[in-house]
Amino acid sequence: MGKEWIANLAQDIKQKGHETAESYGRSQHQAEIATTQGKQFFTAFLISLEDDVNEIKRQLQGDVTSSDTIIQRVTPSEVKLTRSRFPWFDARITHQEPNIALDYAKGLGVAGDPSLDRKTCHFAFHVDDDDVLSVQESFNDNPRRFHQPEELARHIVELLFQF
């Protein structure tokens, strides 16, 4: 009988902490999905990005606006893209769990100073209640969500190549 207060305290913890504990377990599960599937998403994104850039190069071949566009995989989680003109850009894309960041400078004509007027776009992995992974723009009032790696690749190619 002297330990009845412990039983009451344990019951109180169960009642009051149940929702918080379930929420914590769910967030841990989602973080694990973002980690494991995020690497696969990023790899598929890089393949799609390379395909899109190579297709643009093919479409511009022989035109006065043609320019070398270089994609360099620095590490498995970092890629660098450069183009010298029409438009020029200097970009770096990094995957650092649970985020993807695009840091870039660009201009309409020939290459400028890539250290000036740099912009950064952040994207965060998101796992919904059905355990489906997507990537969402961060720090945006109306964030766009990208369900497929190809969608994110297209968005970044448009950011870099559009005037």
Q: What is the pLDDT of residues 81-116, one digit of tens each?
A: 999 999 999 999 999 988 999 999 999 888 778 888
pLDDT of residue 16: 87
Q: How far apart are CA 26 and CA 41, in angstroms?
A: 21
Which is nearest to 46 in space by CA: 75, 87, 7, 11? Answer: 75
User: pLDDT tens digits, residue range 68-84?
Assistant: 999 999 999 999 999 99
pLDDT of residue 1: 53
pLDDT of residue 154: 98
Q: How far apart are CA 27 and CA 31, in angstroms?
A: 6
Asked if 33 and 133 count as a contact pair (C-beta separation under 8 A), the reply is yes
pTM: 0.85
User: pLDDT tens digits, residue range 15-50?
Assistant: 888 888 988 988 899 989 998 999 999 999 999 999
User: pLDDT tens digits, residue range 110-158?
Assistant: 877 888 889 999 999 999 989 999 999 998 889 999 999 999 999 999 9
